[in-house]
Amino acid sequence: MTDIKGKTAVITGAASGIGRATAVALAREGARVAAVDLDRAGLAETASRIAAIGGEVTTYLIDVASRDAVYAFAQEVESAFGGADIVINNAGVAQVASIEELAYEDFEWVMNIDFWGMVYGTKAFLPQLRAKGQGHIVNVSSVFGLFAVPTQAAYNSAKFAVRGFTEALRHEMRGSGIAVSCVHPGGIKTNIMRNARFLQSVQTTVREEAATGFDRLARTTPERAAEVIISGIKKNKGRILIGPDARILDIIQRLMPASYGRILFRGSTTGLGALTSGEAQKTTG
């Protein structure tokens, strides 16, 4: 079991959504929170909410896609708090485009934040956890790290990679005192799809389908997602599925690994629209 009270918890993407809610929940549990993001105003709001409940928080404007910046940040945490105890790599972005149209620059933008940001965060802080002989690393994937969706190749690639990296790390850390969890949120009420990059050529109707489709999918609040993550940390769960949609889609993918697409995405331009109607009522981003 991972203790949270009195521990130093690092969380990226803490300016909004799951990241903010989890930062507040960690502070409520008695952790010292190091909240990371590039959104200055959003971080200030997160800090304000933590202060309102009497929690302890320090904010850091860090680009997780920069290896040098993440390693320098890890040194700051070690100097200020004696190192991290819990590391939650949550920062993420999305891109909507077919593989044929997907620009390499946009693909790299997603991978640099969603995948490499997670790798940097893990490797920069792992020595601190090793030195303590205990700790917990939590990497946030998605249900899109369990199954693939049309026009989400970059996001799918990143989130499948997060899953593979994290599961390998969990095997390597067995017996070390360091717990490792991979989080697969279902539809969470965040702005990730409305903040996603779309090709300029994508029709307005397609953009609206993706955004409104995701809004329909988002049945779980960030606060509820944070509760599930905190519970998973305390129980040292290796895989944390958030929401009934995540559990259902995990089962569908296991039962029909080669044919789920014919059911889930029939007649949809982006994949998201189909997931809100007919046989497929669930999923995320």
User: Catalytic positions, please?
Assistant: 155
Q: Are strands 32-37 and 8-12 parallel, antiparallel or unpaired?
A: parallel
Q: Which two tokens stand for residue 35?
A: 């909240």
Taking only Cα atoms into account, the Rg of the chain, rounded to an integer number of angstroms, comes to 18
Strands 197-198 and 86-89 turn out to be unpaired
d(C-alpha 211, C-alpha 193), whole Å = 6
DSSP structure string for 23-63 = HHHHHHTTPEEEEEES-HHHHHHHHHHHHHTT-EEEEEE--
Q: Which of 254, 135, 142 is nearest to 187 (CA)?
A: 142
Closest CA to 118 of 46, 43, 68, 67: 67
271, 264 contact by CB (below 8 A): yes
Q: Tell me which residue of 88, 248, 243 sits closest to 181, measured CA to CA.
A: 88
- The CA distance from 90 to 78, in Å, is 20
Give the residue among 192, 190, 186 at the shortest CA–CA distance from 252.
Answer: 186
Token pair, residue 209, equals: 């389908």
HSE value, Cβ hemisphere, 13 Å, CA-based, for 170: 17
